[in-house]
Amino acid sequence: EDQVTQSPEALRLQEGESSSLNCSYTVSGLRGLFWYRQDPGKGPEFLFTLYSAGEEKEKERLKATLTKKESFLHITAPKPEDSATYLCAVQVTYGGATNKLIFGTGTLLAVQP
């Protein structure tokens, strides 16, 4: 069964304290991995797409990497405004011609000033 697991469930950091969030997956036929940020009561905001092992993407203090079994979202010198839930989703083939996303349950990040 296709599955996406995110860890830790929650993470509390001090401002400036770098860390990483993990997204591990077991799927048949990965077609892409996506990272989203979600603020409370709002829709997810797209951050990155990764397609193949070894690929890396960066945006401000965030850097996403991908291996054959997992992805990491590295947060360098985080600020309080980085506090949010970070969602990982894996794209798999669904119904023949359609791709669907399987989402993890997210990591709730809190950055203390």
Partner 1 sequence: DGGITQSPKYLFRKEGQNVTLSCEQNLNHDAMYWYRQDPGQGLRLIYYSQIVNDFQKGDIAEGYSVSREKKESFPLTVTSAQKNPTAFYLCASSLRQGALQREQYFGPGTRLTVT
Where do contacts with partner 1 occur on this chain (CB under 8 A)? Answer: 4, 31-32, 34, 36, 41-46, 49, 51, 87, 89, 91, 95, 98-106
What minimum distance in Å lies between the beta carbon of 9 and partner 1? 9
Nearer to partner 1, 14 or 98 (CB): 98
What minimum distance in Å lies between the beta carbon of 23 and partner 1? 11
Q: What values do phi and psi take at 97, rounded to 5?
A: -105, 0
What minimum distance in Å lies between the beta carbon of 31 and partner 1? 5
Cα dihedral across residues 100, 67, 106, 25: positive or negative: positive
Residue (of 34, 12, 33) closest to 78 by Cα position:
12
Distance CA 89, CA 92 (A): 10
Nearer to partner 1, 40 or 113 (CB): 40
